[in-house]
Chains A and B, each alone.
Chain A
Amino acid sequence: MPIAEEFLERLRTHTDLRAGYAEEFLHPTLGGAGTVAVLSRPLGPSRPVAFVLCHSLGQEFVHLSRFDTTIARTMSVAGFPVLRYHGQGYGDSERGASDISLTSHLTDATDAVALLSGQEGIETVGTMGARFGGLVAAVVAARERLPFVATWEPVTKGAQYMRNFVWTRLFAEWAGTVEGAGVDELLETLETTGQADIKGFLLTKRAYDEISAIDLSRELSRFAGTALVVAIARGENPGPGLVRLAEGFRALGATCDLEVLQDDLAAEFGNFHFKTSEMAKVDTQFELNQAIADLTASWALRHVDATFAAGEDGRA
């Protein structure tokens, strides 16, 4: 049977006329190997700034995928193209999970910035990301001197993130949800075999060591653009780590908005967030995701318009 190439070609794009965005499915080379990416664009007038959406690590990549989609589409409807992708070791990328590291995340994101910069109608590129993806977005924005970065509950200290990552099994045991956490055993496995399974994610010793060594405050020495830091909390106060991050941005001469989005299930951000009732499976973060996306689009509209009205080209 002949392959209907024209038909297949049509499937490379998806248009939502009612919402006002179109998505194109790409097969780029990022991080030295093939992978898949989705470029969301506005159906209406496009603004000159586009964003690369950096995904998070391990299970957070899965748990935040719906969030990433909401962000990309909402930003597109507001006029900002967004590129999201599967980094090497994730999803439909060519390489395996053992290749995942801080370096792989940074390389993939940097290549994605270059890819997006070459797309028609895009003058300037910024980065965005949640949790570990936020750390990646901020580091790439600083290293590449990008003008805009948006982060949601970003990881600021790699060492703390990795220790918490390993301790999740222990905490679950204390809370009575699993038995036999065996953190010592897990760390020994990581040390002796060079890798360990953590909640279904293959964490390598290389990734553990690399991520443990990064401190975002030391990586931002060059960022002088415009930043958004979003804290997701039950109460009205952002965590001390995010307060320090925002102060760090400002000390460098950057403009930084620190916003708090209050949600009763704030602790679930980046974690499993579905609840099964008798009738249906409910995404407990559906509304929160949209609220974060709306806040981010509003931030981008405010600052991008101000930057370009001032006649700046946006480079930091």
Chain B
Amino acid sequence: MNGEVVTKLSRYITDELLVKRGVEVTDGTPLMDGLIDSLGIQRLVAFIEEEFDVMLDHSDMIPENFTTVRALEGLVQRKLGGAAASESATG
């Protein structure tokens, strides 16, 4: 796991998105069990794209990618890997 990605995601979710404040978010905390609402998911998607400079597409929009910080980190890493692979292929 990439510690920096996990830290950024955890901090953003804790600071901005929790429906109820005061919950400790670890990399395994279930996010979709009422911890984040639909407006929060919208903001989370925008944050991921802007912070990590990746673009999510329709195929990324499955609940499994958003269940925990660990799952989100995996999504970010795949997108970053995909972007790097695409750059090296064209460059």
Within the assembled complex, what's the spacing in Å between the Cα atoms of A174 and B36?
10
Q: Which residues in window 35-50 of B have CB below 8 A to A?
A: 36-43, 45-47, 49-50
Residue of B whose beta carbon sits closest to that of A184: B58
User: A231-272: contact bitstring with B at CB < 8 Å (1 yes, 0 no)?
Assistant: 001110101110010000000000000000000101110010
A-B contact count (CB 8 A): 68
Given the complex, which residues of A lie within 8 Å of B61, measured CB to CB?
167, 170, 183
Interface size of A in residues (CB-CB distance below 8 Å) = 29
**Pick the contact of B49 from A160, A174, A175 — CB < 8 Å?**
A160
Contact-residue bracket for chain B: 20 to 34
- Most chain B beta carbons < 10 A, residue from A167, A184, A244: A167
Residue of A whose beta carbon sits closest to that of B57: A163
**Pick the contact of B16 from A164, A172, A175, A234 — CB < 8 Å?**
A234
Known: A184-B58, A233-B16, A234-B16. A267 touches B39 (CB 8 A): yes
Cβ contact within 8 Å between B47 and A240: yes
Cβ contact within 8 Å between A164 and B58: no
Cβ contact within 8 Å between A240 and B16: no
Given the complex, which residues of A lie within 8 Å of B57, measured CB to CB?
163
Within the assembled complex, what's the spacing in Å between the Cα atoms of A209 and B55?
16
Within the assembled complex, what's the spacing in Å between the Cα atoms of A170 and B42?
10
Given the complex, which residues of B lie within 8 Å of A164, measured CB to CB?
42, 45-46
Given the complex, which residues of B lie within 8 Å of A168, measured CB to CB?
38, 42
Cβ contact within 8 Å between A241 and B16: no
Cβ contact within 8 Å between B43 and A267: yes
B56 proximal to A (CB < 8 A):
yes
Given the complex, which residues of A lie within 8 Å of B46, measured CB to CB?
160, 164, 239, 241
B85 proximal to A (CB < 8 A):
no
Known: A160-B46, A174-B32. A267 touches B55 (CB 8 A): no
Cβ contact within 8 Å between A174 and B50: no
Cβ contact within 8 Å between A171 and B51: no
Cβ contact within 8 Å between B66 and A267: no
A159 proximal to B (CB < 8 A):
yes
A177 proximal to B (CB < 8 A):
yes
Cβ contact within 8 Å between B55 and A159: yes
Given the complex, which residues of B lie within 8 Å of A159, measured CB to CB?
55
Known: A174-B41, A175-B38, A239-B46. A266 touches B16 (CB 8 A): yes
Task: A183-B61, A233-B16 given; name 5 further pairs at CB < 8 Å.
Answer: A160-B55, A171-B39, A172-B38, A175-B38, A234-B17
- 9 tightest CB-CB pairs across the interface, nearest first? A235-B15, A171-B38, A267-B39, A241-B50, A175-B38, A240-B50, A171-B41, A172-B38, A234-B16
- Chain B: residues with CB nearer than 8 A to chain A? 15-17, 21, 32, 36-43, 45-47, 49-51, 55-58, 61, 63, 66
Mind listing 23 A-B residue pairs with CB under 8 Å?
A159-B55, A163-B56, A163-B58, A167-B45, A168-B42, A171-B39, A174-B32, A174-B38, A174-B41, A175-B32, A175-B36, A177-B37, A183-B61, A187-B58, A233-B16, A235-B15, A237-B15, A240-B50, A241-B50, A244-B50, A267-B42, A268-B39, A271-B39
